[in-house]
Structure 1
Amino acid sequence: MTAYQIAVLPGDGIGPDVTKEAVKVLEALKQQDATFNIEFREFEWGSEYYLKHGHIMPSNGLEQLREFDAILFGAVGDKRVPDEVTIWELIMPIRKNFQQYVNMRPIRRLAGIESPLKNDQPIDFMVFRENAEGEYSNIGGRLYQQQSQEMAIQNTVITKQGVERIAKYAFEYAKKNNKSKVTSATKSNAIIHSMKLWDEVVEAVAKDYGDIELESNFIDALAAYFVMRPESFEVVIASNLFGDILTDLGAALVGGLGVSPSGNINPEGEFPSMFEAIHGSAPDIAGKGIANPIAQIWSAALMLDHLGRTDLSTAIVEAIEQVLQEGKVLTPDLGGNSTTQQVGSAIAEKLKQLVTK
């Protein structure tokens, strides 16, 4: 039986702590299911590596990662290293060079978690964020620095191909999962060039999926609708920046950043896809052992689904929900006093009950 080869990049801050627990859960599955084999190789790339070597990963880092079936990524960010280094020399090269143009983020309220909303309707939808272009471009620059006329230009890149492929991915997901509506985030009333193109391409793609409704909302109104009627959404597509902001808001509605996963997907499978929690490195709680590992463990579940083991992915989410419903082993962000390690172990133990040898 061939083992899945997984590259593990724990990164900075709480990244190593939560990633360790995700690996623990995957190892528990390996012990329980004779049909599942997985092997890990850890890479110590991140801010500590940068401080020692002057670069955040080796020059052949992408070549090394390309050989793996998937990447499990912790978090990146350290106050000792400029953000433009940690982001643009690690995460962005992986996402862009590996053509991980789909960022998928489930916004789902798990059993056992209360929403800050009074609305008790189920919240369960998927946001697909365009992940390779958009507002997160390094095209631009600054002039006259430290002078009164200082200026900065940051260009947004929206291409027909980029919008078309994220829209098709979202509509195909809706079709496969019997969803009736796709919601598009736009701002074409004010951003009249890039967002007009976005609208036109999304509308053209929607015509090939006549049974699925296309709803288009301006981003400011859509943010309000996320709070007012989150139960009305099924699939949402958004540009890089809009999707990033919307999913942090969505995460807040279903328990916070500590429970929200994501996947950076290369749909063609030419390159490995990368899975990570929505949250960052959280330097304020790094090293305290109180970070919630659920988002990272759920991200590992998304990874298994991507690799074709939907059965095991479902089992992980069920184990998470059972631990949450019992309410005995919870980190402080969810009202408990358990450690990161204790939560990871509790989920691993639940898996042993759910998945028989």
Structure 2
Amino acid sequence: MAVRVCERLRPLLKTSHLSPISFVRKAAIAKAKYGGRHTVTMLPGGGIGPELMAYVKEVFRFAGVPVDFETVSIDPQSEGNEDLEYAITSIRRNGVCIKGNIETKSLTAGVQSRNVAIRSELDLFVSVLHCKSYPGVRCRHKGIDVILVRQNTEGEYAMLEHESVSGVVESMKVVTAENAERVARYGFEYAKKLGRKKVTTIHKANIMKLSDGLFLETSRKVAKDYPNIQHNDMIIDNCCMQLVSNPHQFDVMIMTNLYGAIVSNVVCGLVGGAGLISGINYGDHYAVFEPGTRNTGTAIAGKNIANPIAMLSASVDMLEHLGFHYHATNIRKAIEYTINEDRLHTLDLGGTSSSTDIVHNVLKRIEKLTEGHNWMGKSY
């Protein structure tokens, strides 16, 4: 895996000539498709990741989903990048991946953050989270429905750091006009496709006048191509305050990488926490699905209390992406019935249900939804 500065910058400078919305279909109609089945890379990650992936497999097997998993485990203690290289090769081969958060415990120079490296090497330039309230979950604010579009490969996550002199470390924040435009245009196209009326650019251009200034200027330029969509901008610190006080003013939000990490955690917290919302990483050719807040959950691993909804929802997003809409619809409905109608909630939502309680109820709901239908033989 390359670690030289010039090679690390290479993914940041890629441009796309595809329509932003075309990624949703092109990126991963999986390359490994045999007899109507798709092979998908599965990266369990650390903490609660492996147990959540086991639930995904259980649900898929029960629902008869025509997906096979190529499971690749990455050792968080590894002093090299061989396992990371194998995982990236697997994703390139299959086109689609579902993953948990991958720990990188090694502090050895040259051992990269696995999560960041995957996004950079595959040029997964945009992360999309649809943060929507569940009626059955008690929250301070009801009816939240916000889409977050996050630049995913540069900014403070460029992994370009060095110690210039002893005790002085410099970290580069990289913002390119090409990637800023890709993300801005993706956000506006996404808003247009879904009939959204407003896009808000989040920035800190009052302080970082060149880097965030370029991102903001690019967003304003792109906004001129979408006269029917209102565009405004907001400084990141004010944005966080506005989110917790009046989240309904936001519709679609576009932002740089680090601000996306902050805002996604704030909004996910507003609708119930890290265990509910899924996230999607898109590039020109690949798509990776994962929980939206990218938490490892090491402290609750193996206790049967982790909320499986975010990972199950990520698997549904993946099915929709692959075109298995029938299965995706049934599993998503089963999830919604479990949370909203049956009111089965794990500890993080103030409930007493275990992880397996949630999964078994989802299976029961899938069974009810598919009774009387020849769902196993359905064509796609």
Give the TM-score of the pair, scaled to structure 2.
0.83
TM-fit CA distance, 1:279: 3.8
State whether structure 2 residue 227 is matched by structure 1 residue 206: no
Aligned partner of residue 334 in structure 2, secondary structure: helix
Contact 1:46/1:56 (<8 A) preserved: no
2:252 alignment partner in structure 1:
235
Aligned partner of residue 94 in structure 2, secondary structure: coil
Give the TM-score of the pair, scaled to structure 1.
0.88
TM-fit CA distance, 1:25: 2.1
Structure 2 letter corresponding to 1:133: E
State whether structure 2 residue 136 is matched by structure 1 residue 136: no
2:203 alignment partner in structure 1:
186
| C-alpha distance in 2 between matches for 1:13 and 1:287 | 8
Task: State the Cα deviation string for residues 31-65 of structure 1 (Å, max 9, x = none).
Answer: xxxxx5211121122326x3xx8546154442232
Which ranges in structure 1 are unaligned for 5 or more consecutive residues? Answer: 31-35
| C-alpha distance in 1 between matches for 2:323 and 2:183 | 21
Percent of residue pairs identical: 29
Change (3 A) 1:17 1:61: closer
Contact 2:134/2:340 (<8 A) preserved: no
Task: State the Cα deviation string for residues 127-162 of structure 1 (Å, max 9, x = none).
Answer: 0100011121111212444xxxx1111111101110
1:274 alignment partner in structure 2:
288
TM-fit CA distance, 1:193: 0.5
Contact 1:76/1:87 (<8 A) preserved: no
Aligned partner of residue 141 in structure 1, secondary structure: strand
Change (3 A) 1:353 1:335: same
| C-alpha distance in 2 between matches for 1:110 and 1:193 | 40
Q: How many residues align?
A: 337
State whether structure 2 residue 98 is matched by structure 1 residue 72: yes
Contact 2:124/2:287 (<8 A) preserved: yes
2:13 alignment partner in structure 1:
none
Change (3 A) 1:130 1:311: farther
Contact 2:41/2:90 (<8 A) preserved: no
| C-alpha distance in 2 between matches for 1:40 and 1:85 | 32
TM-fit CA distance, 1:10: 0.6
Residue from 57, 82, 89 that aligns with 1:23: 57
Structure 1 letter corresponding to 2:356: Q
TM-fit CA distance, 1:231: 1.6
2:72 alignment partner in structure 1:
43
Change (3 A) 1:61 1:320: closer
| C-alpha distance in 2 between matches for 1:293 and 1:83 | 30
Change (3 A) 1:213 1:296: same
2:368 alignment partner in structure 1:
353
| C-alpha distance in 2 between matches for 1:5 and 1:221 | 44
1:93 alignment partner in structure 2:
117
Structure 2 letter corresponding to 1:74: G
Pairing 1:277-292 to 2, within 5 Å after superposition: 277=291, 278-292=293-307
| C-alpha distance in 1 between matches for 2:92 and 2:175 | 26
Residue from 353, 356, 375 that aligns with 1:338: 353
Contact 1:56/1:89 (<8 A) preserved: no
Change (3 A) 1:58 1:190: closer
Q: Which has the higher contact order (CA 8 A, sep 6+)?
A: 1
Structure 1 letter corresponding to 2:44: P
Contact 1:21/1:345 (<8 A) preserved: no
Residue from 226, 229, 233 that aligns with 1:216: 233
TM-fit CA distance, 1:15: 0.6
Aligned partner of residue 128 in structure 2, secondary structure: strand
| C-alpha distance in 2 between matches for 1:86 and 1:253 | 37
Task: State the Cα deviation string for residues 102-138 of structure 1 (Å, max 9, x = none).
Answer: 10111111131111x2x43x10111010001112111
2:192 alignment partner in structure 1:
175
